[in-house]
Structure 1
Amino acid sequence: MTDREIYYFTGKCLALEEHPEFKDQVIACVKSEMIDWHQFVSLCSDHLVLPAIYLKFRAYDILDHLPEDLSSHLQEVYALNVSRNTQILKQLHEIISVLNPHKIYPVFLKGSANLLDGLYADIGERILGDIDFLVSDDEYLKSARLMKDAGYAEAYDTPDYKDIKTFKHYPRLYHPGYGATIEIHRIPVDEEFTGWFNNELIELEKQSVEDLPGSYVPSAKHKLIHNFIHGQLSNQGHLFGRLSLRGAYDLYLLSKKFPLERALTEIKPRQKAIAYFALVRRVFGLDLAFFPKRNRAYRVLYTKHALNLSSVLFYNAHRSTLFLGERIFKGYLGQIFQAFYSEEKRTYLNRRIFNRKWYGDHLRLYLKFFAKNK
């Protein structure tokens, strides 16, 4: 199978309950040795969906048809994730015990919110990265101080040319006794999107967590919107033609809680959201049952996504061109232009261009980016 075929094969595996007849196709592929299982595992690892794949294969009695070492590997990864997520749940209780006495009641976001909210059928289904939670602007720095007093420390030094008070979230904090780092948000998304998705909006529909009193999660609708913003806008999935299978799987599960079309009413870049929802539908083999719309933005996104999967040359050239264009025109030149009429932007630039560490950090950024080329 090609990279593209493996990718779409994985998508259909993640949605096996929607088309159980696909089980026979999976087994037939195993028997015919059509699948390069190293390639499959590598893709699933990159997209952080191995535990979810294990659970799908287990639910549909596919594990016994797999090579024994593959079945054992999937089970081992799943078991490790169960253990890790069990520790994360304990960590969430610890966070609440630190913040609640000071009348701070966080709203957990993204993966940890879905875990607390029972979105997943199994505690080990989702690989979690950071623990993200939202507090008010007034509670932002205080929450960080309280977590530091409880034994957390910054995972990396913050450059002195940056102002923590203006960050979307506080620099990552880690605790030697826990496996997950935490990110304390003062706003849920990048500043440019807070005009239509912000703390006040989440506050209106936030839901208390039954098993963790003193904490909240966003409504299913707001989780859907946040999923789109995080993957397609903040992480520039729409621009680069990328689709995270973990993010897509979360969207698929959330769509069972709240209709995608109704979520569109609160999304400002509506056409990009339609494109995202439609591409997830296609990758998961759900046809029109999942989301019945397509548009020009979808055709552009799908074309870029398909070319990324099919051509290493396109992937590297497209990715590099966009990265450099964003940095040069929107980043450097755009900020210099804004500095002519904004004192705040002039201060922002002065703190950077006269700081030697800024140049070193940017060099490392470029080296890291181009090292990721296929």
Structure 2
Amino acid sequence: MTHTPTHATLQHIANILNFKDNRKLLANTFDALAVDWDTVVMLASQHLMLPALYYQLKRKDLLTHIPPDLELYLEEISNINSNRNKILLKEAQEVSALFREASIDHVYIKGLAVIAHIAPKDIGARMVGDLDIVIAPHQLHEAFELLQKHGYTETIEFNYTTENFRHLPRQINPKKMGAIELHSEVLLYKYRFLIKVTDLLNNKLFTSGIHIPSEEDSIQIGIYTTQINDHGHLFGTLNLKPVFDCLVFGLQNKISFLHKIADVKQANSFLELLSIYFPEFKPNHTTKSSQIIKSYYYFKLDNPRLGRISQNTVYYLHELTERITLLYNNKSYRAHVLKNKLSHKRP
């Protein structure tokens, strides 16, 4: 077990985020001045976890045990995020009403699903970007056109024709806060068997005025989008945002489900890294790839400089491989690259 400052700080953050009743332990730690709060804020900010920290500290009645200026700072950020999330949820409710009226089968995923689940009390705990909506594939373009008719007239187009991509171009209403991404799928093409859209839509729940996935589906979306779409499994990273989502949807209390998803290597490595800070998430078996990823994760903690170099190397090699593959297989991308190169050529 590593005991680097970064590991210690991440453990402090994990202890605060934990839904266990650990108030006494945390109060004693805080009162003993054993926490580097500047580093906590820096790392929590990198993971977009500052509002979640504030809500958990408040829920555990620990705000009086942290520096007063930090309490004010966290409160201000959380209030701003709470107000933003209230607007986003209202916009999501309006769009959901449009889709229901048009009999368009849909479900909100990721951040919107989380804030709908925890609203209204803790609505500001989770930071949210776009409004991600999964649409029944045969109704995808109907939904896109309906949004266009209701003010979502601007789009952020792709630079080239995508093949088997999981969502349409992002739609923007200049008068609204949230951009919308309409998804026909959740995961990269190769892994779509892990989250089937038909099951996702059939299992959906209605809460806070919108449709959201079931708790188990929400957990899988949080894990697999991070591990597969964002390549967390490949890069050996642990993002605290899906960790918080797993806590919110109660994975710590769904032991049989935890063991079930641990059979998938991407979930297994996520749970193995997660168990460093939350032992209750330890999978009932560990794959060889998870052991390697965990060792690599420890290496990066123990050797920050070498860790950054190795992480960047892996990232750029992956990007290069992806681009070469795309260049070879996608005619539209080749044309885009050629056009871009010619447009930047000096006369």
TM range (shorter): 0.7 to 0.9
Which one-letter code corresponds to 2:148 in the other structure? K
Residues 266, 2 of structure 1: CA spacing in aligned structure 2 closer, same or farther, 3 A cutoff? Answer: closer
**1:60 maps to which residue?**
60
| Match of residue 176 from structure 2 | 178
1:197 to 1:358, Cα distance in 2 relative to 1, 3 A: farther
Contact 1:224/1:263, CA 8 A, preserved across alignment: no
Residue 220 of structure 2 corresponds to 225
Q: Answer with 195-204 or 230-239: which moved more.
A: 195-204
Answer yes or no: is the 8 Å Cα contact 2:259–2:284 preserved in 1. Answer: no
Does structure 2 conserve the Cα–Cα contact (< 8 Å) formed by 1:275 and 1:294?
A: no
Taking structure 1 as the reference length, what is the TM-score of the superposition? 0.81
Aligned to 1:11: 14
Shift of 1:358: 6.7
* CA deviation profile, 1:323-364 (whole Å, cap 9, x unmatched): 23223345415863xxxxxxxx4xx2x22223346756xx9x
Distance 1:18 1:68, change over 3 A: closer
Q: Extract unaligned runs of 5+ from structure 1.
A: 337-344, 364-374
**What secondary structure is seen at the aligned counterpart in 1 of 2:309?**
helix
What is the deviation of 1:102? 2.0
Q: Find the aligned partners of 2:339 and 2:231 in 1 and give their Cα distance.
A: 23
Query: Which residue is equivalent to 1:293?
Result: 284
| Aligned residue in 1 for 2:70 | 70
- Which position in structure 2 is the counterpart of 1:340? none
Amino acid at match of 2:226: G
SS in 1 for 2:185: coil
Cα distance in 2 between the residues matched to 1:264 and 1:197: 17
Tell me how many residue pairs correspond in the alignment: 338
Aligned pair partner of 2:247 in 237, 247, 252: 252
Preserved contact between residue 307 and residue 315 of structure 1 (Cα < 8 Å):
yes
- For residues 28 and 298 of structure 2, the distance between their equivalents in structure 1, rounded to whole angstroms, comes to 23
For the 8 Å contact 1:221–1:258, the answer to whether it is kept is no
Q: Give the Cα separation in 1 of the matches to 2:121 and 2:244.
A: 13
Q: Which residue identity is paired with 1:309?
A: L
Residue in 2 that maps onto 1:197: 195
Deviation of the 1:39 alpha carbon: 2.1
RMSD: 2.7
Unaligned runs of 5+ in 2: none
| Structural mapping, 1:348-363, within 5 Å | 348=330, 350-356=331-337
Is residue 295 of structure 2 the alignment partner of residue 303 of structure 1?
yes
Alignment equivalent of 1:168, drawn from 153, 166, 171:
166
Q: Is 2:273 the counterpart of 1:279?
A: yes
Shift of residue 70, structure 1, vs aligned partner: 0.8
Q: CA deviation at 1:87?
A: 0.6
Residues 334 and 51 of structure 1: CA distance in aligned 2, closer, same or farther (over 3 Å): closer
Q: 1:228 to 1:120 in 2, by over 3 A?
A: farther
Q: Residues 50 and 297 of structure 1: is their aligned pair in 2 closer, same or farther, counting only changes over 3 Å?
A: same
Offset at 1:247?
1.0
8 Å contact kept, 2:200–2:217: yes
Query: In the aligned structure 2, how far is the partner of 1:358 from the partner of 1:242?
Result: 35
The whole-number CA distance in structure 2 between the counterparts of 1:275 and 1:18 is 27
Task: Give the whole-Å Cα distance in 1 for the aligned partners of 2:261 and 2:215.
Answer: 13
Q: How far apart are the structure 2 equivalents of 1:110 and 1:237?
A: 16
Distance 2:121 2:338 in 1: 46
Please list the CA deviations of residues 295-347 of structure 1 after superposition, one character each: whole Å capped at 9, or x if unmatched.
133322222222333433233322222223223345415863xxxxxxxx4xx
**Residue 134 (structure 1) aligns with:** 134
TM-score (norm 2): 0.86
How far apart, in 1, do the equivalents of 2:252 and 2:173 lie? 34
Q: How does 1:91-102 map to 2 (within 5 A)?
A: 91-102=91-102
Offset, 1:155: 5.1
The equivalent position to 1:316 in structure 2, one of 293, 308, 315, is 308
**Aligned amino acid, residue 246 of structure 1:** K
